[in-house]
A = this chain, B = another copy of it.
Amino acid sequence: MFCHPSLVLVIINQPNRASGSRYARHSAQLSSSHLCDCASTIMGDIPAAAKSESASFSKLLTSHNLRQLLDSVDAFLFDCDGVIWKGDVLIHGVPDTIDMLRSMGKNLVFVTNNSTKSRRAYAKKFQTLGISVREDEIFSSSFAAAMFLKVNNFPTEKKVYVIGEQGILDELESAGYTGLGGPEDGRKTIEWEQNNLFDHDKNVGAVVVGLDRHINYYKLQYATLCIRENPGCLFIATNLDAVGHMSVMQEWPGAGCMVAAIRGSTEKEPVVVGKPSTFLMDFLLEKFDIPTSRMCMVGDRLDTDILFGQNAGCKTLLVLSGVTTLSTLEDTANHIQPDYYTSQMPDMHKLFGESVK
C-alpha cells in the first residue's frame, strides 16, 4: 500500500505496526513530517528506547518517504563496506534491493573509500557474492587516486610511491603509471647502523597513502623522504577514514591512520581524493547526464558518505548497519544530518513492498 498522508490514520489504527506507540506519544504535535514517521519503518534491530527519539533533522525512512525519494532520484550511489557487505559477508537482502532499483531504471554506482582493491577486483567480489555489477559502476578510492594524477597531467615518466595495498598499484598501472612500494615493501626492514643512508628514488613525484595492513617503518621513511626531499612531490590520500570493517567482528584502523602518520612525519597536508572530497563526483557527472539533486548517496558514515553526498548536492540516506549508531547520529555534537536514515540498505526493498501491498 502506498502511504499517502491522508491514509496515515489507517496505519496508526493498526496496533501491530512498529510505529504505533510512537504515534500515540507524539499525536499532540502532529505535523506533516511527523505523519511520515508514522508510516511503516524498519528499525527492528534498534532498542525500543532509542526508537522513541528521532534525530533532530534526519527523517526515519518510511514506506511513504521512500516513495518520495524513489520518485525524485535517478541515480543511487552506494557505499560498500557496512552498506552492501561487512568484510566479505553480504548483508542479507541486498541483491533484491539492487534488482528492484535496476527494474525501476535507476542508475547504480558503488562508491567505496576502501583502496585495497582495484575496480576489477571489486567487480569480481560483487560477482562472487551473487550481485551483477559492472566495473564501470564501481568508483573506489584506489581508482580515484589514479584518476587524480591523470586529470592533473602527472607525467608518466615520474613514479608514484604507494603506502597501501594492491588495489592502488593496479589502478596506477591501468592508468599508465609506475607504482613503487605497496605490498612488496611490507617485507623490507632497515638495518640500523650509524652511517645508514636510506636511499629513495628521486624520480618519485607523488606519494599515494591508503589503508595498509602491512605498514612498517621502511614505508614510512620512504614516503617521508619523497615528500620532504623530492621537489614538488604530491601527497595524495585515498581517504581519511579513522576505522573500517576489515573483519565482520570489529573495527580496525583505516587509511586515516596511515595518512595521519605521514602527515605527522612530513608536517604536510594531503590532497584527499575519496569521500567526502567531491573529486569522484566529477566522473559521475560526466558519466550520467543527471543533476546531483537527482542523486542519492547511501552510506554508513556521517563524515565521509553523508558529507560527500551533501557536499555534492545529493540527497542522503544513512544506514545504521555500519560504523554509525543511532546515538552517534542523535548526539548533539554531530552536525552532519542525512536527509533520511534506516537500519540497513535492504529496508528500501522491504518498505517498498509494504507500500505496494
What is the interface of chain A, defined by CB distance below 8 A to chain B? Answer: 87-89, 190, 192-198, 212-217, 220-221, 224-225, 228, 240, 242-243, 246-254, 256-267
Contacts and interface: CB of A to CB of B under 8 A. Distances in A.
Contacts of A246: 192, 196
Contacts of A197: 247, 249-250
Main secondary structure of the interface of A (DSSP, over half): loop
A124 B301 CA distance: 51
Contacts of A192: 213, 246-247
A263 B266 CA distance: 15
Contact of A221 (B194, B252, B259, B262): B252
21 contacts: A192-B247, A193-B247, A196-B246, A197-B249, A197-B250, A198-B249, A198-B250, A215-B215, A215-B217, A216-B216, A217-B253, A224-B252, A224-B257, A242-B266, A242-B267, A243-B265, A253-B261, A257-B261, A258-B264, A259-B264, A260-B265
Nearest to A246: B192
Given A194-B87, A265-B254, A243 B217 contact: no
A254 to B, nearest CB: 7
A260 B266 CA distance: 11
A220 B215 contact: yes
A249 B192 CA distance: 12
A197 to B, nearest CB: 4
Contacts of A193: 247
A82 to B, nearest CB: 14
A252 B194 CA distance: 12
Contacts of A253: 217, 220-221, 224, 261, 264-265
